[in-house]
Chain A
Amino acid sequence: MIFTEKKLLAGALIVAMVIFFMPLQQVSAASKPGKVANFKATNVTQTSVTLKWDKVNKAKGYVLYEKQNGKYKKLAKVSGTAYVVMNLDKSTSYTFKVNAYKKTGKRYMYGKGTTLNEMTSEVGGIIKSWNIGGNGKKAL
């Protein structure tokens, strides 16, 4: 009798677990945000750059990273599709990454990262410039 009750209890527990976890697995696989497209740098100056990207369907927001010493360091979590990175060093190469994310309950789900490789900040301001185009003959 006791054996039968234990079996029944165990069976019920398994059924309950299957019911609990199955929908969650399906939700998580189905609703992972897509990969960010058209990730680009605009308004590049000596000290800042504006990063822009296309909106990802059903994403709650985006996480931006900067590669530092071979590892990605989180820069910001934003809800829009643009972010201004400040305090750049001039004439320096930077690599950025963005992931879209979605939140379900307390769980965050991240899409695949999109990388912007070796964006270079402006060399510096031009003090003076001269047009010296010519045909190989004397300037004056």
Chain B
Amino acid sequence: MEESLRAGISAVTEKKLYSPKTATSSVKVSLYDDGKLLISGSGNTAVFAGMKNFQLSDDYLPPWVANEKYDDFIKSAEIETTVTPSNMDFWFWIAKNLTAAPAVPSSVTSLNNTFAGTAITVAPAIPSGVTQMSNAFELTSITVAPTLPDSLTIMNGTFSQCKKLKEMPKIPEGVTQMDGCFMYCTSMTTATAIPKDVVSMDELFNHCSSLTGTVTFYNTAEDYDECFYAASTKKGTMLTVNYGSSCSNINKVIKTKSSNSNIVKGKLVSK
């Protein structure tokens, strides 16, 4: 998977990577010879969208990430408290030797792909204003999910392939997108509830083979392909799927399971 994430990134000249013209504050990123990445200075930062026309593009990645030589060298990271980024998308993307996440500044609202593919085992605290966390912890070894803020709306792939994650966190009421959110979380044994505003949940619990207990859907999702594919397949698992009155397609959602999934329809529940 790591290789496939890397695919599409090729060597580029560094001057293409970012534009100093956007440098309207003093924030500087320094990579030291001991592997420390220090983000210093003060104020907001430029945004690295990572993609152009829905395709990963080196030109849009942070320069220390786009160049594999630097990305692989990062072992630790620190963000000075005077740095107040609003967006940390891709900041530590596939920094495979980064073992501990730095504290995330309270100014941050977007954490898409931020820690994906790193070696962190403990998730940092998520600030109260964060709205997007797609793929934020994908492919990491975290065992406990962070508390998710009420501001959160988009969490596609947030915990995808977190194979050591034990429990599903409480999902905030404002979340609308959860495609692949827990895909391949093979150690996750517990599930919580899917809020009523979630419209997209393709592959939500895909390959969550240890899921057992109860999950409740309060939403009527438009997209739910392979939501339960290969879920609850381990010996001894049994997942009961309850549903709220606002969920009108629970039978179709359950049908996405595999033939060897131990999943049954539960009961109508009120909030």
Contact = CB atoms under 8 A, between A and B. Distances in A.
Interface of A: 90-91, 123-140
B24 A133 contact: yes
A134 B46 contact: yes
Given A126-B32, A127-B32, A140-B59, A133 B23 contact: yes
Q: Is the interface of A mostly helix, strand, loop or mixed?
A: loop
B56 interface: no
B36 A140 contact: no
Interface in B7-44: 18-20, 22-34, 36, 38-39, 41, 43-44
Interface residues of B, number: 37
A133 B33 contact: no
A61 B22 CA distance: 55
A134 B122 CA distance: 29
B34 A133 contact: no
A90 to B, nearest CB: 7
A128 B18 CA distance: 14
B199 interface: no
A131 B24 CA distance: 10
B85 to A, nearest CB: 8
B63 interface: yes
B47 A123 contact: no
Contacts, number: 107
B32 A125 contact: yes
B132 interface: no
Nearest to A136: B86
Interface centre among A127, A135, A138, A139 (most CB of B within 10 A): A139
A110 to B, nearest CB: 39
B46 A129 contact: no
A135 B25 CA distance: 7
A135 B73 CA distance: 28
Given A90-B34, A91-B34, A123-B36, A134 B28 contact: no
B45 A132 contact: yes
B31 A137 contact: no
Contact of B46 (A90, A125, A138): A138
Closest 9 CB pairs of A and B: A134-B46, A133-B25, A139-B46, A124-B32, A129-B30, A133-B27, A124-B34, A133-B23, A136-B86
Contacts of A135: 22, 24-25, 44, 46
